Amino acid sequence: MEPPGILALEIRGERLLLHPVRAVVWPARRTVIVADTHFGKSSVFGRHGIAVPDGTDAYDRERLAALLAQTQAQRLLLLGDFLHGALDAQQGAARDLALWLRRLRGVCVALVTGNHDRTAAAGWQAPVNWQGDELIDGPFRFTHEDLNDSQHFVISGHVHPVVTLRGLRKHRLRVPVFWERAGGLVLPSFGSFTGGYRVEPQGEERVYAAGPETVVELKVARRARP
C-alpha cells in the first residue's frame, strides 16, 4: 500500500503514483515526473519592475528534493517549461538552480522541451539532459504539450489544469488536477508561482485533485450529458 494521501493508477500495466505535491512517481523506473516548474519566474518579473519576492524557487526546489529523497528516485523527468524565461547565468536564480542540480547526485535529470524553455534558451543553459520534444519509455511518451499518439500513452504538462468546484451559492473552489484523458495524462503545474487553466472534463475523462496533503478523485467526469 502507498502512504496516505497518494493515489495509485494502473496504466498499460504500469503503476503510477499521483502525489499531492503535484508530481507523478513511477516506482518501477524509480522516476519522479513533474511538469511546468517555471523556475526563475520571479526573476523575470523583477527585471521588468514587478516585485515578486524571492522564495518561490527555493520552496519548489525543496519540495522536489524532498520527494526525490523520499522515493529514492534515480531519475527526475521534467515535462517542459523548466525555466520561465531567459535567465542571466551570473544572477541568483540561475546560480541557485545550478547548485541545486549539482547536489542531486545520483539523480539523472531529463528535460523535454516546453515553449518557455525555447525562449529561455537565449540565456543560461541549464545543465540537464535535454531530450528534445519527447522521450519514449516503456508504454509512455513524455512530452510538453503534444497529445496525439496511437501507440503510446502520452504524459504531458503545459495546460496547468485546474477544476472549479461549485458549492452552495457562489462557493467556488479551484483545485489543481491531474487530468486523465483518452490515451493521456496531463499533470498539474508544479511551480508554486504558476496559475491554472480551467478545464471541464468530458465523457470518460477523469480528474484527480491535488490538495495540500491528499490526492482525491473528483467524480465530476461522470456528469450526465444528454
Partner 1 sequence: MSGARIAALRQYFASQGREPFDFQERMWRAYWSGESGLLNAGTGSGKTLAAWLGPVLDDAAPSQKGLRLLWITPLRALARDLEKALLEPLQGLGSKWRVEQRTGDTPSARRTRQCANPPHALITTPESLSVLLSHADMTASLGAVTSIVVDEWHEFLGTKRGVQLELCLARLRALAAARGQVLRIWGLSATLPDLPDAMRTLLGPGRAGTLIRAPEPKRYEIDSLLPASLERFAWSGHLGLQLLPQVIERIARTRTTLVFTNTRSQAEIWYQAIVSTQLDWLTTTALHHGSIDAKIRRRVEDGLKSGALRCVVCTSSLDLGVDFPPVDQVLQIGSPKSVARLLQRAGRSGHQPGQLSRVTVVPTHAWELVECAAARHAAEVLDLEPRTGLTLALDVLAQHLVTLATGEGFTAAAQLAEVRGTHAFAELTNVQWQWTLDFITRGGSALQGYPEFRRVEVVEGVHRIAGVDLARRHRRAIGTITSDASMSVSWQSGGRLGTIEESFVSRLRPRDVFIFGGRVLQLMRVRDSIAYVQLAKSKSRYVPRWQGSRLPLSASLGRALLAVLERRERGEVSDPEMILMEPLLRIQEQWSAVPTSGHLLVESLRSREGFHLFVFPFAGRLLNEGVATLMSARAAREQPRTFSITTNEYGFELLCAEAFDVGEATLQRWASPEAPLDDLLASINASELARRQFRDIARIAGLIDPGTPRKSKTARQLQVSSGLMYDVLQRHDPENLLLEQARREVLTAQLAYQELTDVLARMATQRWLLMQPPRFTPLSFPLWADRLQTQTLSTESWRTRVEREAQRLERRAAEH
Q: Rule CB under 8 A: which of 187-206 touch partner 1?
A: 192-195
Which residues, in sequence order, are CB contacts of 161 under 8 Å at separation 6+?
Answer: 176, 177, 178, 179, 186, 188, 196, 197, 199, 207
Query: Nearer Cβ to partner 1, position 176 or 184?
Result: 176
By CB under 8 A, residue 105 contacts partner 1? no
Compute the distance between CA of residue 194 and CA of residue 180 in angstroms, rounded to an integer.
21
48-87: which residues touch partner 1 (CB under 8 A)? 48-56, 59, 84-85
* Cβ atoms of 135 and 142 closer than 8 Å: yes
Q: Rule CB under 8 A: is residue 37 a binding residue for partner 1?
A: no
The residue count for binding partner 1 (CB under 8 A) is: 51
- Stretch touching partner 1 by CB under 8 A, among 8-16, 27-35, 47-55, 99-107: 47-55
Q: Which is nearer to partner 1, 85 or 157 (CB)?
A: 85
Note whether 44 binds partner 1 by CB under 8 A. yes
CB nearer partner 1, residue 41 or residue 152? 41
**Cβ count within 10 A of residue 144:** 24
Quick check: helix, strand or coil at residue 71? helix
Among 78, 79, 93, 162, binds partner 1 (CB under 8 A): 93
Q: Which three cell numbers stand for residue 5?
A: 494521501
CB atoms within 10 A of CB 104: 16
Nearer to partner 1, 13 or 49 (CB): 49
CA angle (218 as vertex; 2, 36 as ends), nearest 5: 75
Only one of the segments 65-73, 123-131, 137-145, 209-217 lies at the binding site for partner 1 (rule: CB under 8 A); that segment is 209-217
Cell of 35: 511538469
Shortest approach of partner 1 to residue 99 CB, angstroms?
Answer: 15
Pairing of strands 14-19, 140-143: unpaired
Q: Which stretch in 69-77, 153-161, 167-175, 182-190 sits in contact with partner 1 by CB under 8 A?
A: 167-175
By beta-carbon proximity to partner 1, the closer residue of 128 and 220 is 220
Any residues with CB less than 8 A from the CB of 129 and at least 6 apart, and which?
A: 108, 109, 110, 111
The site for partner 1 (CB under 8 A) is made up of: 42-56, 59, 84-85, 88, 91-93, 116, 119, 165-173, 175, 192-195, 209, 211-214, 216, 218-220, 222-224, 226
